[in-house]
A and B are shown apart, each in its own frame.
Chain A
Amino acid sequence: MQDNKHENLLEDYRKPLLKFLECGFPRLKDEVEDLVQRVFAEALECGFDKKLDAVQLRRWLYTTVRRRAIDYLRKWERRAFIQLAQKQSHSDLSGAVEEEGGAGPQTQALEEERRQRQGVLLSQVLQEFVRWCESSPRRILLKEAYERALRGQSASQIAQAMQVSSQQVYQWCSDARCWIYDRIIQKDIDRTVFLTWHRARNA
């Protein structure tokens, strides 16, 4: 009877959580039922439905489904970078084949092993960048300018929208790119994840 009460409590959240996921993560529309069900199972397993009060439970459910959705998409992000790196290294390997008479199984195994170590993803680095900007009021404008640039606005459009000079916009965007690039260099030691970026920087 008591268990039914707790299950009903979770069921009250099913529709709102499904709607939340469908609105926030439309690409996952075919996965949302599974995601919510897994989070409910997690809540029941950890006893959160009994340990937490209604407000805490609600916060935990929304935070957790959001995290699980992003985790799910990050697996895709990883695969996307691997695909891009593979395309790049295949063209590298074809060059090597011509020069050295063929890439042996050892080279290919090394490449595979390097790809396995690709652990750092752009979304994580960007989130760290956002936290860095948020830690100082001076960097809020830098963050806004860089987001505008990433979303396709030109320097003059950004300058006009933010009522600053284009020179200031260039400086902010340059600072942002340097911070992000340095962070990637620290983490992507093998330079396998962001091949294109490294090459563009070194060109």
Chain B
Amino acid sequence: MKASVPQFQSFAEVVRWVIQELGGLCPSQERLLQWKAEPQREDLRDVRFHVQEARCQICLAVLEQEGSSPQSS
């Protein structure tokens, strides 16, 4: 079964979807990995919010795959 296009009733719903599912506010991969290495860095506090508080599923998946690969396992 193919996934169906979500139905949006307002611009606000599209904005939420773009942020949550399309990674509209995701940091660059470079900064994401820098944060993983040094989570307390103040210049990466926006990444900390994005991952730890907002729990961006795309960034969490990227971090998870960085920690488990066919090579590293």
Contact = CB atoms under 8 A, between A and B. Distances in A.
Tell whether A pairs with B. Answer: yes
B18 A123 contact: yes
Q: Which 8 A-B pairs have the closest CB atoms?
A: A24-B61, A126-B24, A144-B46, A23-B61, A196-B11, A123-B22, A24-B58, A123-B24
B2 A20 contact: no
A60 interface: no
A130 B27 contact: yes
Interface in A1-58: 12-13, 16, 19-21, 23-31, 54-55, 58
A131 B25 CA distance: 9
A81 B7 CA distance: 10
Give the interface residue-count category, chain A. 35 or more
Interface residues of B, number: 43
Contacts, number: 124
A76 B4 CA distance: 9
28 contacts: A13-B70, A20-B65, A25-B21, A27-B6, A30-B3, A55-B71, A58-B69, A58-B70, A62-B62, A62-B65, A73-B21, A76-B5, A76-B6, A77-B22, A80-B14, A80-B17, A81-B14, A121-B18, A122-B14, A123-B23, A123-B24, A126-B25, A134-B31, A140-B44, A147-B19, A147-B25, A151-B19, A196-B11
B36 to A, nearest CB: 15
A58 B21 CA distance: 23
B38 interface: no
Nearest to B68: A16
A27 B5 CA distance: 10
A109 interface: no
Contacts of B10: 84, 196
Contacts of A115: none
Interface of A: 12-13, 16, 19-21, 23-31, 54-55, 58, 62-63, 66, 70, 73-74, 76-77, 79-81, 83-84, 121-123, 126-127, 130-131, 133-134, 137, 140-141, 143-144, 147-148, 150-151, 194, 196-197
B45 A144 contact: yes
B64 A23 contact: yes
Interface string B20-57: 01111111110100000000000111100110001001
A122 B46 contact: no
A12 B21 CA distance: 27
A102 to B, nearest CB: 28
